[in-house]
A = this chain, B = another copy of it.
Amino acid sequence: MTTTMPAGVAAARDLVGPAVLGWLDRLSPDVRIVAAYHLGFVDANGTPTGEAQGGKALRPALALLSARAAGSPPERGVTAAAAVEFVHNFSLLHDDIMDDDTERRHRPTAWTVFGVGAAILAGDALLCLAQDMLISDPSPQGVWAARCLSAAVHRLIAGQGADLAFERRDDVTLDECLQMAGDKTAALMACACSIGAIGVGAPAELAMGLAGFGAHVGLAFQLTDDLLGIWGAPEVTGKPVRADLRARKKSLPVVAALTGGTQAGKELGELLARPGTLSEEDLLRGAELVEQAGGRKWAENEADAQLAAANKCLAETEMPEDVRSEFAAIASFITVRQS
């Protein structure tokens, strides 16, 4: 495992960043500033930050690799990469409202700065833009890429819908939770890993192999993210410590702990069902209980298993060796647990 960002990710950001900015110019000024703020290009007043782009731009890097896996230069994957990044950020803009999150990437979330209405609209605009970009290439493979993205968006929405529904339930099973993570996170990752290849007309076996790799990486990533949501340091996650417990999120380690049939799991359920705000002491105790109930270990093992499955897909899919190593480096980078 590596903790330094693979070189390909920064290179992808340099290649895709200008395209992202160019497409943003299609938005009306009122909407554009909110999207540009969210993406890290400008501050709340619209002044350029000088940053290439906020976020790690992992999905664009995967999309460019995906075009290269099909033997095309990365440039041919740029539109698909930008489209995937727009969809990812559409969902972040809306999720931050739904989850009442006030901070993202160490900055106030867009809705806290510009209002809920403006943030909803900026998300809508990015979703529409993403679809628009892909169908501006009317070739059959362009349309296939658009359909691939559209299918991922449907699953993303289904996953977020399940996540919201889980908040009101105390009988969520681990299977439901895994399904939700598959929809909410893994589907778009699978799309990112295959859309570049699809867009250049790659054979179905390659597209399917890459999508399989992406789906497993996506689950490994979500498990890692859920672990960081409890045990991650704020300077790494960009969120307050134990944020997911504070929000009583039914994340994977929590549901594993709740459903494991242990005494600690039962206590955890009681703690999370307590009305009112949870104190720092409660949160510390909650984290301990997740661990005692086996939720942490389960999530760590499952993340490792998903990463292994991803690497198996990668090994079994034909592509240039340098592309394969770069895919593997990103997979390992985004599943490292810096807690």
Contacts and interface: CB of A to CB of B under 8 A. Distances in A.
Interface of A: 26-28, 30-31, 90, 94, 97-99, 115-118, 120-121, 123-125, 127-129, 131-132, 135-136, 138, 140, 143-144, 146-147, 150-151, 153-154, 157-158, 160-162, 164-165, 183
Given A128-B154, A143-B143, A157-B31, A121 B98 contact: yes
6 contacts: A27-B154, A125-B157, A131-B146, A135-B143, A138-B143, A138-B144
A150 B128 contact: yes
Of residues A28, A94, A138, which shows the largest number of chain B Cβ atoms within 10 Å of its Cβ? A28
Contacts of A125: 154, 157, 161
Query: How many monomers of this protein are in the complex?
Result: 2
Contacts of A27: 154, 157-158
Given A98-B116, A135-B143, A135-B147, 15 more contacts: A28-B161, A28-B183, A30-B158, A30-B162, A94-B121, A99-B117, A118-B161, A120-B120, A121-B157, A127-B128, A128-B153, A135-B135, A136-B147, A138-B144, A143-B143
Contacts of A158: 27-28, 30-31
What DSSP secondary structure best describes chain A's contact surface? Answer: helix
A109 to B, nearest CB: 14
A162 to B, nearest CB: 6
Of residues A157, A165, A183, which shows the largest number of chain B Cβ atoms within 10 Å of its Cβ? A157
A132 B147 CA distance: 7
Contact of A132 (B90, B120, B150, B165): B150
Contacts of A157: 27-28, 31, 121, 124-125, 128
Contacts of A97: 116-117, 120
